[in-house]
Amino acid sequence: MEEVTIDAAISSLPGALSSVTEILGRLGVPEKTVRELELAVDEAVTNIMLHGYTSLEGLIRLSCRRDGDMVRIRIEDEAPPFDPTEVPEPDLGGDADERPIGGLGIHFIRKMTDEIRYERTEGRNILILGKRIKTSDGR
């Protein structure tokens, strides 16, 4: 398992994403899967940075591990409790340019992953994003 800890400032996001994709690469995760997980992590982390912490003081810890064909990314923060798995699906149809766009981030996370788990432990939000590596993706 490899982990990286970042400031919850939005300017730390690009560096965090490149660290995560690098780690996933080292874990032998195929390129396409890396790209999909990257989007899911971006959405989850951006949300913590913009809506979770109320000051710039907070930290976010990201750790990645691979168990066989499952790759899991664990995202921990100490912001107020927020369970993204309870966010309802956004309305993706209708007169699209006038519809509210809340919930788009969690929609992307759901589309990009096979498993989402949330728990609140000892004042921390813990979000685990899992994805199954398909054999057709290589390796």
Partner 1 sequence: MMIVTERKDDVLIFGVNGRLDGYAASQVAVEIERNLRDDDRSVVVDLDGLTYMSSAGIRVLLALQKKVKARNGGIALCNIGEYPKNVLSMAGFDKVFPTFPSREEAFREMRKREDSLSLIADLKNPMTERGSARFGFETASRAPASLRVQGDHSALARNRISEEDISAERLSEIEYSLGLGALGSTVEDVMPFLGEMMTLRSAMIWLPAGGHDTPDFFVPAGDAGEVRAYTAFNLSLEGAFNEIADVGATDEDGIALDALYRAIFALAKERKRDCRGILATAIWGVVADFKGMGRKRSPAPMNGDSTPDPEDRTATNYSGYSIVAFGIGIDRSADLSGYDQSALDAILAPQPEGGDANGLYLHNHGAVFRNAPWNPEADLIKGIERCFADGEFVDMRHLLNTTKIYRAKVGIAYISAIKRR
Question: Residues in the site for partner 1, rule: CB under 8 A?
Answer: 10-14, 17, 35, 38-39, 42-43, 45-46, 49-50, 92-93, 96-97, 101, 104-105, 107-108, 111
Q: Considering beta carbons, is residue 48 or 133 the nearer one to partner 1?
A: 48
Q: Considering beta carbons, is residue 44 or 71 the nearer one to partner 1?
A: 44
Q: Considering beta carbons, is residue 30 or 105 the nearer one to partner 1?
A: 105
Min CB(121)–partner 1 separation in Å: 26
Burial class (CB in 10 A: 0-12, 13-18, 19+), 8: buried
Q: Considering beta carbons, is residue 14 or 28 the nearer one to partner 1?
A: 14
Which residues contact residue 115 at a Cβ distance below 8 angstroms, ignoring those fewer than 6 apart?
70, 72, 128, 129, 130, 131
Min CB(34)–partner 1 separation in Å: 12
Exposure on the CB side of residue 99, measured as CA atoms within 13 A: 11
Q: What are phi and psi of 59, to 5 degrees?
A: -120, 155
Min CB(32)–partner 1 separation in Å: 11
Min CB(1)–partner 1 separation in Å: 24
Q: What are phi and psi of 129, to 5 degrees?
A: -105, 120
CB atoms inside a 10 Å sphere around CB 11: 10
